[in-house]
Structure 1
Amino acid sequence: MKSLQDAFYNWLSIKVVSDARPNDKAAKETLEHFELVLKEDHKIEEVVRLEYNEDLYFVYYLLNGEEKSMRFPKDLIDFMLNAIEREPDKYPIIEE
């Protein structure tokens, strides 16, 4: 994944799904994959915190010892979870 913004977009999208579906093995494994992408490809030391309001998600992270942030439109990040919730039969939970 070339762009740090794309990597965080993918990570945050699946994190929202994984948090909403804590028993979903596939979501957990996908989240772990994107965590590795952030650490190995982009050298992110830590995601410090997540915040959100009605319109935006804010991701605060450490890179080279410095806290930085990105923001993402809430409707884009929540798209995958909303699709799953609209049609749960298409997205069964695969438990460990």
Structure 2
Amino acid sequence: MKSLQDALYNWLTIKVVADARMDDTAAQDTADIFLRILRNEHHIHTINVEREELMYLITYQVDENEKTVKFPTELIDVMLNQMIDEPEKFKNYPNK
């Protein structure tokens, strides 16, 4: 994934879902894939997320440089909100 911004957005969107649906193995696996992309392709070794009312703040470290990006909560939470609003469309198939 070329863009760090896109990788952070994709990771955070699925991380929010994975955190809310701990038994959703697809969400867990996808969040892990995006985290590996952040680490391997973008060399991020520390990453923290803080949710405020209107924004998610991601603070991350590359080498010795700490940076922060923001994403609107409504943009990040849209996938989880869809899953909550229409659970019949998002069945969970946990490992047995």
Which 5+ residue runs of structure 1 have no aligned equivalent?
none
2:24 maps to which residue?
24
1:7-39 C-alpha deviation (Å, 9 max, x unpaired): 000000000000000000000000011011101
* Structure 1: 4+ residue segments shifted above 4 A: none
Instruction: Give the match's secondary structure for 1:80.
Output: helix
| Higher relative contact order (Cα pairs below 8 Å, separated by 6+ residues) | 1
RMSD: 0.8
Letter in 2 for 1:41: E
1:84 maps to which residue?
83
Distance in 1 (CA, whole Å) between partners of 2:46 and 2:52 is 22
The Cα of 1:45 is off from its aligned counterpart by 1.0
Identity %, equivalent residues: 45
Stretch moving more, 23-32 or 37-46: 37-46
The Cα of 1:2 is off from its aligned counterpart by 1.1
Q: What are the equivalent positions in structure 2 for 1:49-60 lying under 5 Å apart?
A: 49-60=48-59
Distance in 2 (CA, whole Å) between partners of 1:91 and 1:52 is 24
Q: What are the equivalent positions in structure 2 for 1:33-72 lying under 5 Å apart?
A: 33-47=33-47, 49-72=48-71
Distance in 1 (CA, whole Å) between partners of 2:90 and 2:64 is 39
Aligned length: 95
1:17-75 C-alpha deviation (Å, 9 max, x unpaired): 0000000000000001101110111111121x211211100001111122211100110
Stretch moving more, 27-36 or 61-70: 61-70
